Amino acid sequence: MIFILKRGVSQEQVDKFVAGWEQQGLSAFVRPGTEHTAVCLIGNTAHVDMERVVELEPIVDYARRVTEPYKLVSRTVQQENTIIRVGGAEYSPSTFPVISGPCSVESEEQVVLIAKRIKAAGARLLRGGAFKPRTSPYSFQGLGEEGLRFLLTAKQETGLPIVTEIMNQTQIPLFEDVDVVQIGARNMQNFDLLKAVGRMGKTVLLKRGLANTIEELLMSAEYLMSEGCENIILCERGIRTFETMTRNTLDLSAVVLLKQKCHLPVIVDPSHAAGIRSLVPPLSKAALAVGADGLMVETHNDPAKALCDGAQSLDLDMFDKLMDDLKTRAPLEGRTI
Ligand code: PEP
Ligand code: MN
């Protein structure tokens, strides 16, 4: 249930209204908007007589039931897009930031070299896995803490904010200097991790699970937001279907629908969706065309020797070309790269 407050109500009145609900064992989240402030009530609201509250509370303009199972992330609760700023990057309806970097951090030289090249090409954030969720226990598992240090060096040298995946709660103290904490597809429904990461006060990149529905992705975002996390970027990275010629199937309708249902930015990862390098540039352009808010593209200085996901990684010249292409197309969609 949400209450839309009248214009011009004071902070003191809002606080009093919120405290009243909390005394009744409910949580009340205040959502300030440009038009009006809304208060979203979470918990068992079955006993709350909505009409009576509107009648008796002088600060309430009107009330509405939120019928979706996700509440705080819903467009019903917040109509305006959430704008997220990370370092110099911005997720907004007029921007299209590109995150790029290797699947996994392999050495300091590698990640610094890639960071410099992608920055020169126009990428806004640097990605790189230090802790890697691999299907086989015998595959390269990532450099761990050392990998995080190398990412931080690359951040110092280029000024690019860094995005990297967290695999479990015990790693939280290591992520203090990380700008965007990534929750990977395989952990999208690790609810304890979602709750703990939601309390970190960081921007979170939440990837859709391999076999998860759009609604389940929104519910996972709701876990983060109900713990106080406001800055969440959703990522469509392909889902598993009967198709075997691509690694996954990129669900572009999910991007459109997510943006209709929810106020958070939605980006596309064409690399993990396709699994094939040559598909990445056309799918990136498709993402821009359907209204995605940005991209995450894997790049490598020598993809043939990559320790992880080489087949889907663009080499640095291909990335330059993709970025040139996006820079000419983005303005046609009202966006800057
Ligand atoms: C990644 O971004 O490197 C990754 C492992 O992605 P996903 O969780 O989408 O498979
Ligand atoms: Mn990868």
- Locate tokens 């820079």: which residue? 327
Instruction: For residues 66-73, give the mean pLDDT.
Output: 95
In short, whether 207's Cβ falls inside 6 Å of ligand 1 is: yes
In short, whether 303's Cβ falls inside 6 Å of ligand 1 is: no
Query: What is the rounded distance in angstroms from the CA atom of residue 32 to the CA atom of residue 72?
Result: 12
Burial class (CB in 10 A: 0-12, 13-18, 19+), 260: exposed
In short, whether 129's Cβ falls inside 6 Å of ligand 1 is: yes
- Locate tokens 């969609």: which residue? 333
Residue partners of 19: CB distance under 8 A and separation at least 6: none
Least Cα distance to 9 among 39, 29, 49 occurs for 39
Q: Is the pLDDT of residue 36 over 90?
A: no
Q: What percent of the chain has pLDDT over 70?
A: 100
Query: What is the rounded distance in angstroms from the CA atom of residue 125 to the CA atom of residue 102?
Result: 12
Please state whether beta strands 60-64 and 84-86 pair in parallel, antiparallel, or not at all (unpaired).
unpaired
CA of 295 to the centre of ligand 2 (A): 14
pLDDT band, very low/low/confident/very high, at 123 (cuts 50, 70, 90)? very high
Query: What is the rounded distance in angstroms from the CA atom of residue 302 to the CA atom of residue 237?
Result: 23
Query: What is the rounded distance in angstroms from the CA atom of residue 221 to the CA atom of residue 228?
Result: 11
Q: Is the pLDDT of residue 32 over 90?
A: no
Which amino acid residue places its CA nearest to atom 4 of ligand 1? 184
Specify the ligand 1 atom closest to the Cα of 308.
3
Range of lowest pLDDT (32-36, 198-202, 315-319) = 32-36
Q: Is the pLDDT of residue 180 over 90?
A: yes
Instruction: For residues 136-161, give the mean pLDDT.
Output: 97
Instruction: For residues 23-41, give the mean pLDDT.
Output: 91
- In 199-289, the DSSP E strands lie at 203-207, 232-236, 266-268
pTM above 0.95, yes or no: yes
Query: What is the rounded distance in angstroms from the CA atom of residue 271 to the CA atom of residue 283?
Result: 9
Taking the CA of 132 as reference, the closest ligand is 1
Query: What is the rounded distance in angstroms from the CA atom of residue 133 to the CA atom of residue 141?
Result: 7
Task: Please say whether the beta carbons of 114 and 101 come within 8 A.
Answer: yes
